[in-house]
Amino acid sequence: MNVLLLLLIAQQQAPAVKVDSETISGLGARNIGSAAMSGRIAAIDAVHEGARLTIYVGAASGGVWKSTNGGTTFKPVFDKQPVQSIGAVTIDPKNPKVIWVGSGESWMRNSVSVGDGIYRSDDGGDNWTNLGLRNSEHIVKILVDPTETNTVYVCVPGKLWSDSDERGVYKTTDGGKTWTKVLKGANLSTGCSMMSMDPAHPKTLYAGMWDFRRRGWTFRSGGDSATAPSGSGLFKSSDGGATWSELTSASASGLPPKPWGRVAVSVAPSKPDIVYAFIEAVPPQNALYRSENGGKTWQMLDRSQNMIWRPFYFANLIVDPRNPDRVYKVDGGLIVSTDGGKSFSGISGGAHGDFHDVWVDPNDTDNLITGDDGGLWFSYD
C-alpha cells in the first residue's frame, strides 16, 4: 500500500509555474559557471643549451609544454600523466635534462584544479616519475640546491577546500626518493605560499606560510577576521631547513603586526642580502617590504592597488638576476620597479592580463618570458 501511494504521488505533475514576462524582461542571459581556466599559464622555467633556448611551461589545466627553439614552437610533454594541472616547473641548474614539476595549480581561485604530487624527468620531459607528496593537491615552488642537486625543497600550500596535514616545506636529499617535512604550519589550514633561496648560500631559505580556506560562498586569507589569530608568517632558515626562525614585527623591525594573509618572498640573486616580501596584512600595512640585511630589518615600500590586489591570485615577486633594484610583481597587468621597490609602473602593454610568472633571461635581462591567463608572452626590451 505504501509503495502504491508513493508511485501515485510520483506520477502527479507539479503545478505549472506562471512566468511574468514583464517582470523578467530586463534580465539578460548571464554565465553562471563553471569557471574556466583554459590557457592559463602558472609556471615557467628556461635554460640556455648552447645556442638554443629550451623553455618549459606549466599550464593550469594543460600539462607541461616544451620548446627547444626559444619559443617558436612547443610540444606537450606531460599528456600521458594522470593530472594536467601544474603549479611549479624547475630545471636542475647542473643538468638541463632533469626537470621537476609540481602538480596542482597554486593560484587559489575558485576554478583551481588539483594535482597528485611531484614529478621528475631525467630525459628532458620524455618520461616522468611521480616521486610522492601525492596528497599535497597544490605545489607553488620547487628549489634545487645548485651545489648538491639531489637536495630539493618543495613549497606546498596544501588543500584549498579542507584541512590537511600534507602542507608546508618538504625536503629531499636523495633526489626525491624520500621526503621530510622541515617546516609545518601552525594549524591544518596553513601551508607554504612561496619560498626563495640565497643562490650563493643555498642553505639560506625564506618561506612564506599562509593560513587560508576557500568555501563555496567565501574565501578566507589569514584568520577568520581582521583581529583573529592567523598561522600566516615569514620564516628564515640558515641551515637548509633544519631550524627556522619566524620574522615578525618584534624580531625584525619594520614588518607589519599580525595577523597576515598570503606572503610572497624573493631573494635578489646578485645581492642576496636584499630580500623582498609582499605581505597581505591589515590595511594600510598590506604592502611590499624590502630588507637589505638578510631579513633583520625591513622597510615598507609600495602600497599601490596594483601591488596589493587579489593576493590569492597574484602574490609573486621576481627579482632581476643581475640588478637587485629591478623587481617584477605579477598582477592584472605586469608591473616593474627599477628603484628597489619604491615605485612601480605598468609594462604589460597589450598582453592579455592576469600575470602569474616571469622568467628573466640571465644572459640578457631585457628578455622576458611571461605567463598569464591568456597564454605565453615574450618581451625583448
Predicted confidence (pLDDT) per residue in 131-184, tens digit: 999 999 999 999 999 999 999 999 999 999 999 999 999 999 999 999 999 999
**pLDDT computed for residue 339 by the predictor:** 97
- pLDDT for 52 beyond 90: yes
SS3 call for 261: strand
User: Other C-beta atoms within 10 Å of 255: how many?
Assistant: 25
- pLDDT for 368 beyond 70: yes
Instruction: Name the DSSP class of 4.
Output: H
How far from 165 is each of 42, 60, 194, 334, CA to CA, in Å? 24, 24, 18, 34
Rg (CA), the chain: 23
Distance between CA 78 and CA 70 in Å, rounded? 19
- pLDDT for 294 beyond 50: yes
Q: pLDDT band for position 31 (50/70/90)?
A: low
Determine the average pLDDT of the residues in 194-216: 96
| Averaged confidence pLDDT in the chain | 91
SS3 call for 57: strand
Give the cell for residue 235: 620564516
Query: What share of the chain has pLDDT > 70, as a percent?
Result: 91
Determine the average pLDDT of the residues in 360-380: 92
Q: Which residue has the higher pLDDT, 113 or 102?
A: 102
**pLDDT computed for residue 27 by the predictor:** 72
**pLDDT computed for residue 17 by the predictor:** 58
Distance between CA 17 and CA 375 in Å, rounded? 46
SS3 call for 208: strand
**pLDDT computed for residue 225 by the predictor:** 72
- pLDDT for 362 beyond 80: yes
Going edge to edge, which strands form the sheet with 299-300?
260-267, 275-281, 287-291, 299-300
**pLDDT computed for residue 180 by the predictor:** 98
Residue pLDDT, tens place only, 311-326: 988 899 999 999 999 9
**pLDDT computed for residue 298 by the predictor:** 98
The residues near 291 (Cβ < 8 Å, ≥ 6 apart) are 252, 254, 273, 274, 275, 277, 297, 298, 299
The residues near 329 (Cβ < 8 Å, ≥ 6 apart) are 278, 288, 306, 307, 314, 316, 317, 335, 336, 337, 344
- Lowest average pLDDT, out of 88-97, 99-108, 217-226, goes to 217-226
Determine the average pLDDT of the residues in 11-36: 62
Burial class (CB in 10 A: 0-12, 13-18, 19+), 337: buried
The region that residue 254 occupies, defined by phi over 0 for left and psi between -120 and 50 for alpha, beta otherwise, is: left
- pLDDT for 7 beyond 90: no
For the chain, domain boundaries: 38-139
Query: What share of the chain has pLDDT > 90, as a percent?
Result: 77
- pLDDT for 1 beyond 50: no
**pLDDT computed for residue 8 by the predictor:** 36
Determine the average pLDDT of the residues in 25-32: 67
Residue pLDDT, tens place only, 239-259: 999 999 999 999 999 999 999
Contact (Cβ atoms closer than 8 angstroms) between residue 366 and residue 374: no
The count of C-alpha atoms lying within 13 angstroms of the C-alpha of 309, restricted to the half-sphere facing its C-beta, is 12
Contact (Cβ atoms closer than 8 angstroms) between residue 101 and residue 64: yes
- pLDDT for 20 beyond 80: no
Return the sign of the alpha-carbon dihedral for residues 350, 351, 355, 358: negative
Distance between CA 190 and CA 73 in Å, rounded? 39
Determine the average pLDDT of the residues in 294-298: 98
* Closest alpha carbon to 245 in 192, 286, 204, 191: 204
- pLDDT for 50 beyond 80: yes
Determine the average pLDDT of the residues in 11-23: 62
Distance between CA 97 and CA 254 in Å, rounded? 42
Q: pLDDT band for position 36 (50/70/90)?
A: low
- pLDDT for 2 beyond 60: no
Q: pLDDT band for position 227 (50/70/90)?
A: confident
* Closest alpha carbon to 295 in 281, 276, 312, 314: 276
Going edge to edge, which strands form the sheet with 180-183?
141-144, 152-156, 168-172, 180-183
Instruction: Name the DSSP class of 375.
Output: E
